[in-house]
């Protein structure tokens, strides 16, 4: 249960080269070495400060009730299929005709990493815990209408039941994400206290799961070592026996290690590196447009002058879209501008703006808004994403000067970024959201629904009419009503324009040619369960 350096992992650290990593070439084919700039800041996704790499750990070390099968994208890349579901911890399930009752049958041979059996009581406790965590986990659960412990019940040791007031098509896909994952409740409860009734501290520092991989060792800021759980019953046993996820700050070092064959996979490289590596062809580069993704400029509609729609429109005409794609992204993104102005917006998301850069139009709109000489404000971005966000911010700063808008760039440390987002005090922001669930209303639920007061709403945008339409889309009784709701949502968002689309980025990965089985998932982290080496 405790995460510590022992055995093989310790030997690896002792034998590490000057860059802090042993050569992948000297490792067996059942061992994978990944290098990344970032790593987990904890092992529990329920902790408010948990970063995205904590979800990566959660995905490998914990089971969910259900999963999704794979499909092949047009370019041959394997991807999960967002619209289909297969057994994971639950070997089967039944859904009532009115879709208000879900019954899951838990595998009778499933155990946690410490050998204790998995029961429906663990499922119930874990779902209760996700809601009690509040913040991001609770809102994620609510997206699938899992909002109260009263909805969850234990029928018997291996039967778990959920009930709902009305059907929600997001319920099943919401069970696949790394939030309603199954924690070893008996182990966790032994370490719970009055101040920490859900054992957040224990799970943040220790593996309490039953997934395909165990966390053998975690050294914050350095590396995480995973070993295969040989008694895993919730899917085909992975071919990999060990995965070493190493943090190295320098992108140049991470690229060099890959090119020399010293590591198997490099994630989080700058787009320029992926573009060059793809062109050179010495390693395999996989780039998948991230589903339900958007990188954007938000304008805080509660802070003048962004409370004026014409100002927001003016900014949209002044952004240097093409330059951002070419100079900051090196083409590793999908454009979200220059849509066809003669056609209505499609009932999907994201959709491109119907125009590109037009400084004359931008200047005219600013004059109409009462700012013929422009204004001064700040543009904030996450410093941990500086590789692309900083050149983007500089390009925007230079472009807006042409219409008299002077920007001061605010570089927010990654450790403070979510707190700054939640404060809703930043006038302009470059940020991103990619929806774990590939449904437009899910994106809107997290970003535009004023009732949520979501951290991702850095627009500080509240529109009761739109909130009702988002709700209607989530619970639409038929396809006709659903499509009509989507159309209304998109029209309002693109008309009011508190958020300006920039691009939809690629999830990029570079790997040795003997690495096979890579499968794209919505969380954009490699799935160790599927990867193998030839």
**Residue 129 maps to a domain:** yes
Range of the structural domain that residue 208 is part of: 7-264+512-533
Mean pLDDT within 408-423: 92
Per-residue pLDDT at 10 exceeds 50: no
Is the torsion defined by CA of 360, 366, 369, 371 positive or negative? Answer: negative
Are 203 and 248 found together in one domain? Answer: yes
Confidence category of residue 440, pLDDT binned at 50, 70, 90: very high
With bands split at pLDDT 50, 70 and 90, how would you rate the model's confidence at 521?
very high
- Per-residue pLDDT reduced to its tens digit, 116-130: 999 999 999 999 999
**462 and 494 belong to one structural domain:** yes
Instruction: Provide the pLDDT confidence category of residue 349 given band limits of 50, 70 and 90.
Output: very high
240-278 pLDDT, tens per residue? Answer: 999 999 999 999 999 999 999 999 999 999 999 999 999
Number of domains in the chain: 2
Nearest Cα to Cα of residue 359 among 420, 304, 388, 317: 317
Give me the mean pLDDT over the 402-418 stretch: 94
**443: nearest Cα among 292, 320, 301, 317:** 292
- pLDDT of residue 396 exceeding 50, the answer is yes
Long-range contacts of 90-93 (CB under 8 A, 24+ apart): 90/65, 90/66, 90/160, 93/65, 93/66
pTM: 0.88
Task: Please tell me the distance from the alpha carbon of residue 106 to that of residue 33, in angstroms, as a whole number.
Answer: 33
Q: How many CB atoms lie within 10 A of CB 356?
A: 16
pLDDT of residue 1: 38
* Tens-digit pLDDT profile for residues 312-343: 999 999 999 999 999 999 999 999 999 999 99
Mean pLDDT of the 61-80 span? 96
Within this chain, do residues 33 and 96 fall inside the same structural domain, yes or no? Answer: yes
Of the pLDDT bands very low, low, confident and very high (cuts 50, 70, 90), residue 20 is very low
What was the pLDDT predicted at 454? 85
φ/ψ (deg, to 5) at 113: -65, -25
Using 50, 70 and 90 to split pLDDT, how confident is the model at 3?
Answer: very low
**Has residue 519 been placed in a domain?**
yes
Residues 239 and 298 in one domain: no
Indicate whether 247 and 321 sit together in one domain. no
Q: Given a cut of 70, is residue 25 above it in pLDDT?
A: no
Residue 272 lies in a domain: no
Whether residues 368 and 252 fall in one domain: no
Looking at the structure, do residues 323 and 233 belong to the same domain, yes or no? no
In a domain, 280, yes or no: no
Q: For residue 440, give the CATH number of its domain.
A: 3.10.105.10
Residue 150 belongs to some domain of the structure: yes
Same domain, 78 and 209: yes
Residues 224 and 341 in one domain: no
338: in domain? yes
Q: Are 502 and 516 contained in the same domain? A: no
- 2 assigned to some structural domain: no
**Long-range contacts at 384-388 (CB < 8 A, ≥ 24 apart):** 384/38, 384/413, 384/414, 384/417, 385/414, 385/432, 386/411, 387/251, 387/270, 387/271, 388/270, 388/271, 388/328, 388/329, 388/505
Residue 73 falls inside a structural domain: yes
Residue 498, preceding bond cis, omega within 30 degrees?
no
Q: What is the pLDDT of residues 146-186, one digit of tens each?
A: 999 999 999 999 999 999 999 999 999 999 999 999 999 99
Let me know whether 404 and 377 are in one domain.
yes
Q: How far apart are CA 154 and CA 308, in angstroms?
A: 53
Under 8 Å CB-to-CB from 78, ≥6 apart: which residues?
70, 71, 72, 517, 518, 519, 520, 530
Task: Find out whether 518 and 510 touch, Cβ atoms under 8 Å.
Answer: no
Say what the pLDDT of residue 477 is: 87
Q: Let me know whether 452 and 524 are in one domain.
A: no
CATH number, residue 48: 3.40.190.10
Residue whose structure tokens are 């639950």:
90
pLDDT at 382 over 60: yes
């Amino acid at each position: 249960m405790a995460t510590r350096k022992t055995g093989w992992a310790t030997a690896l650290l002792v034998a590490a080269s000057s860059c802090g990593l042993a050569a992948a070439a000297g490792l067996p084919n059942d061992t994978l070495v990944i290098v990344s700039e970032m790593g987990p800041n904890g092992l529990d996704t329920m902790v408010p400060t948990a970063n995205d790499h904590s979800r990566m750990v959660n995905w490998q070390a914990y089971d969910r009730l259900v999963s999704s099968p794979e499909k092949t994208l047009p370019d041959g890349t394997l991807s999960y299929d967002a619209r289909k579901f297969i057994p994971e911890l639950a070997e089967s399930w039944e859904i009532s005709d009115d879709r208000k009752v879900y019954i899951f049958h838990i595998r009778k041979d499933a155990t946690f990493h410490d050998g204790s059996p998995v029961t429906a009581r663990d499922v119930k406790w874990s779902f209760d815990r996700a809601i009690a965590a509040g913040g991001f986990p609770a809102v994620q659960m609510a997206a699938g209408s899992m909002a109260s412990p009263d909805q969850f019940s234990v029928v018997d040791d291996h039967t778990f039941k959920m009930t709902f007031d009305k059907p929600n098509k997001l319920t099943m896909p919401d069970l696949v994400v790394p939030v309603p994952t199954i924690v070893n409740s008996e182990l966790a409860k032994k370490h719970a206290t009055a101040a920490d009734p859900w054992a957040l501290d224990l799970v943040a520092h220790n593996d309490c799961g039953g997934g395909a991989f165990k966390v053998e060792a975690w050294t914050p800021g350095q590396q995480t070592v995973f070993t295969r759980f040989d008694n895993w019953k919730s899917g085909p046993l992975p071919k990999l026996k060990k995965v070493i996820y190493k943090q190295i700050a320098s992108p140049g070092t991470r690229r060099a290690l890959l090119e020399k064959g010293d590591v198997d996979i490099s994630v989080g490289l700058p787009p320029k590196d992926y573009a060059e590596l793809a062109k050179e062809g010495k390693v395999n580069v996989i780039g998948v447009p991230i589903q339900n993704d958007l990188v954007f400029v938000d304008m805080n509609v509660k802070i003048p002058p962004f409370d004026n729609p014409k100002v927001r429109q003016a900014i949209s005409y002044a952004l240097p879209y093409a330059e951002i794609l070419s100079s900051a992204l090196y083409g590793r993104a999908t454009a979200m501008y220059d849509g066809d102005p003669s056609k209505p917006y499609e009932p999907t998301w994201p959709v491109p703006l119907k125009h590109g850069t037009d400084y004359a139009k931008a200047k005219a709109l600013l004059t109409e808004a009462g700012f013929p000489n422009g204004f001064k404000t700040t543009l904030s971005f996450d410093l941990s994403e500086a590789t692309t966000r900083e050149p983007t911010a500089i390009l925007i700063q230079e472009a807006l000067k042409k219409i008299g808008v002077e920007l001061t760039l605010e570089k927010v440390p990654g450790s403070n970024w979510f707190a700054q987002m939640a404060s809703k005090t930043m006038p302009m922001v470059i940020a991103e959201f990619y929806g774990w669930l590939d449904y437009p209303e899910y994106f809107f639920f997290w970003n535009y629904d004023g009732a949520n007061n979501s951290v991702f709403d850095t627009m500080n945008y509240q529109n009761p009419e739109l909130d009702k339409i988002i709700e209607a889309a989530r619970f639409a009784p038929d396809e006709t009503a659903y499509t009509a709701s989507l159309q209304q949502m998109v029209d309002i968002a693109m008309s009011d324009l508190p958020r300006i689309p920039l691009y939809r980025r690629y999830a990029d990965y570079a790997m040795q040619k003997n690495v096979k089985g890579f499968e794209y998932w919505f969380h954009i982290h490699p799935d160790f369960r599927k990867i193998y080496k030839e």
